[in-house]
Amino acid sequence: MRSKPSSKSALVEALNLRKYYPVYGGLFKRIKGFVRAVDGVNLAIREGESLVLVGESGSGKTTLGMLLAKLIQPTSGRIIFKGVDVTEKIPRSLRRKIRVVFQDPYASLNPRIKILDQVIEPLLSEGVDRGEAEERGYKVLESVRLDSDLASKYPHELSGGQRQRAVIARALITEPDFLVLDEPTSMLDVSIQAQILNLLKKLKTEYSLTYLFITHNLAVARYIGDRIAVMYLGRIVEMAPKRVLFSNPLHPYTKALLSAYPPPDPEKGWEPEVPEDMATNPANPPKGCRFHPRCPLAFEDCRVRAPETLEVEREHYVECLLYR
């Protein structure tokens, strides 16, 4: 997706970012091919915004999140964070400004270490003395609304929602600018999900954060997002401000995705118009437009020409030949 080059307000930028994973096979486990998890993504995340990345499994949304969080190295392309090219190496002072929250709060916490100790661990490893670290730890626990008497508990003594609060607290302890949130509420029950979503909204203002929020749930995207990017087989196929995307979706895949979600209201219709369930393989994406084999509107050109990104209205980008 094209973005305004190095616009002042961009906190994080991806320039033609790719991540290929080798696929091994055969007798000598030679490289047979590559899974193109992320295949040419351009993206600028603005300071203070909440950009939601939606897509189904295998779309590459998690890989893109890990790239931007600097957890894995890209195959090619560049990543700019706060104006600094951090593709190859990220200085320590910037490293601590990017933090990640994963889906499973239990897997994210060490079962043998007390909550407060896990939360302040990043500070201790930076050489902050224990007294000060604990003081800041309690403060951040208060921000995520975790009772201070839970500080000395172990993860298994906490509920799922409390654990996710602890994980968020640990992310906040280094005073980051950028949080990558990968399905942070999808393992939680709905009553708890609402608590965490509201907490994340509040923290974003309190801590002046910028979010990359990854989810498969479009209803969650509509609640938490300012802008929404839709991923399909390693590419961002549509991106727009939330209101625009929900009122005027353009890409046939986005339309299909939106129609698949039932509204929580039996008096509203639910007529999903979704393409054939096909095994889509990122190791061998279709030629031309990647969506063409499943697209109800595909025409001859779609089979051979890869669509480029078009800005069809202000800030509304779509990768589809229909809008040439």
Partner 1 sequence: MAVVEVKNLSVVYYTPKGLARALDNVSLKIERRGEILGLVGESGSGKSTLGYAIAGLLPENAEIVSGEILVNGVNVIDAGVDSRPRISVIFQDALTALNPVLTVGEQIAEIFMYVHGMERREAYEETRRVLREVGLPEGFTNRYPHELSGGQRQRAVIAMSLALRPALIIADEPTTALDVTVQAVILKLLHRVVKDNDLTMLYITHDLSLVAHMCDKVAVMYAGEIVEYSDVRSLFRDPKHPYTIALLKAIPRIDADVEELEPIEGSPPSLINPPKGCRFHPRCPYAMEKCRVAKPGAIQVGHGRWARCFLYEE
Q: Write down the least CB distance from residue 31 to partner 1, Å.
A: 24
Does position 218 bind partner 1 by CB under 8 A? yes
Q: Write down the least CB distance from residue 77 to partner 1, Å.
A: 27
Q: Write down the least CB distance from residue 261 to partner 1, Å.
A: 4
Measuring CA to CA, which residue among 81, 111, 97, 110 is closest to residue 173?
A: 97
Q: Of 275, 293, 306, 312, which one interacts with partner 1 (CB under 8 A)?
A: 275
**By the 8 A CB rule, do 87 and 77 touch?**
yes
Does position 237 bind partner 1 by CB under 8 A? no
Does position 244 bind partner 1 by CB under 8 A? no
Q: Write down the least CB distance from residue 321 to partner 1, Å.
A: 21
**For residue 91, what are the CA distances in angstroms to 71, 87, 112, 211, 248?**
14, 11, 31, 21, 41
Does position 257 bind partner 1 by CB under 8 A? yes
Enumerate residues 6+ apart whose C-beta is below 8 A from 220: 185, 193, 197
Q: Write down the least CB distance from residue 34 to partner 1, Å.
A: 22
> Under rule CB under 8 A, which residues in 68-107 are in contact with partner 1?
none
> Under rule CB under 8 A, which residues in 181-200 are in contact with partner 1?
189-195, 197-198
Query: How far is it, in rounded angstroms, from Cα 289 to Cα 238?
Result: 13
Q: Write down the least CB distance from residue 99 to partner 1, Å.
A: 24
Measuring CA to CA, which residue among 240, 82, 101, 253 is closest to residue 163?
A: 101
Query: How far is it, in rounded angstroms, from Cα 96 to Cα 114?
Result: 22
Does position 222 bind partner 1 by CB under 8 A? yes
Give the DSSP letter of residue 289.
S
**By the 8 A CB rule, do 70 and 86 touch?**
yes
Q: Based on CB atoms, which residue is closest to partner 1, 49 or 177?
A: 49
Return the bridge partners of 46, or none: 10
Does position 282 bind partner 1 by CB under 8 A? no
Query: How far is it, in rounded angstroms, from Cα 317 to Cα 105?
Result: 34
The residues of the shown chain that bind partner 1, judged by CB under 8 A, are: 56-57, 159, 161-162, 189-195, 197-198, 216-220, 222-224, 242-243, 246, 256-268, 270, 272, 274-275, 277-279
